């Protein structure tokens, strides 16, 4: 399987560049987080029948916190988000396009922090954490559209998704929101 997104030279469009400047200001008093709560980034590459999607989201948008999951409620919330993120055909409205999910990778420090929580159990609530999801699909139909309506519904703290799209029409940057969740290839 080729790694479409990694192989392509990404040119950040002005829209995204501005968002990054803002995020850097926001991050000065934070530790890890060059990110803005409520906003996620989505990289999408469609090459023939192969679709690759990378979601990079502040953990806040998906689970409502960014510290290590300590309480049972935190852990349940994290597990719930993981289960939702493992259903990308639903999240991206791809099941009606005969798309098959061929790869899922979820990355976040929060998935591994339980082991260490006693070593830094104080004063770290100001840390920023992200959850990244990497998906690949094979679709038998020519893919025309993708919708994030389910993603916005299941993760209502996500207010805006900044999309970098590479498809048959070239590269474009766009913003999707709960009232405008759809993109066309």
| Distance in Å, CB of 38 to Zn ion, minimum | 10
- Position 88 contacts Zn ion (CB under 5 A): no
E strand or H helix that includes residue 76:
helix 72-85
| Distance in Å, CB of 130 to Zn ion, minimum | 8
Residue span 116-155 as binding mask against Zn ion, x where in contact by CB under 5 A, dash where not: ------------x---------------------------
**How many CB atoms are closer than 10 A to CB 12?**
12
Residue of closest CB approach to Zn ion: 128
Total site size for Zn ion, rule CB under 5 A: 4
Indicate the residue among 45 and 63 with the shorter CB distance to Zn ion.
Answer: 63
Taking the C-alpha atoms of residue 140 and residue 149, their distance in angstroms, rounded to an integer, is 22
Contact 141, 103 (CB under 8 A): no
Closest by Cα among 34, 38, 43, 53 to 91: 53
Rounded to the nearest 10°, the torsion over CA 22, 54, 150, 68 is -70
| Contacts (CB under 5 A) with Zn ion, residues 45-74 | 58, 66
Indicate the residue among 33 and 88 with the shorter CB distance to Zn ion.
Answer: 33
Strand partners for 106: 133
| Distance in Å, CB of 37 to Zn ion, minimum | 5
Indicate the residue among 66 and 113 with the shorter CB distance to Zn ion.
Answer: 66
Indicate the residue among 23 and 106 with the shorter CB distance to Zn ion.
Answer: 23
Taking the C-alpha atoms of residue 77 and residue 157, their distance in angstroms, rounded to an integer, is 13
| Distance in Å, CB of 113 to Zn ion, minimum | 15
Match 């805006």 to its residue by tokens.
Answer: 160
Where do contacts with Zn ion occur on this chain (CB under 5 A)?
33, 58, 66, 128
């Amino acid at each position: 399987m080729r790694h479409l997104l990694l192989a392509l030279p990404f040119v950040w469009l002005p829209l995204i560049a501005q968002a990054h400047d803002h995020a850097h200001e926001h991050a000065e008093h934070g530790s890890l987080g060059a990110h803005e709560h409520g906003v996620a980034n989505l990289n999408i590459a469609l090459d023939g029948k192969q679709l690759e999607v990378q979601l990079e989201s502040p953990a806040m948008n998906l689970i409502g916190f960014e510290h290590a999951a300590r309480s049972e409620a935190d852990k349940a919330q994290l597990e719930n988000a993981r289960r939702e993120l493992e259903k990308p055909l639903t999240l991206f409205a791809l099941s009606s396009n005969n798309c098959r999910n061929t790869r899922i990778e979820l990355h976040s420090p929060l998935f591994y922090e339980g082991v260490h929580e006693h070593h830094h159990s104080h004063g770290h609530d100001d840390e920023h954490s992200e959850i990244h999801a990497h998906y690949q699909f094979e679709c038998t139909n020519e893919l025309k559209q993708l919708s994030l309506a389910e993603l916005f519904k299941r993760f209502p703290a996500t207010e805006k998704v900044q999309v970098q799209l590479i498809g048959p029409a070239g590269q474009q940057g766009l913003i999707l929101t709960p009232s405008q969740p759809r993109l066309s290839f």
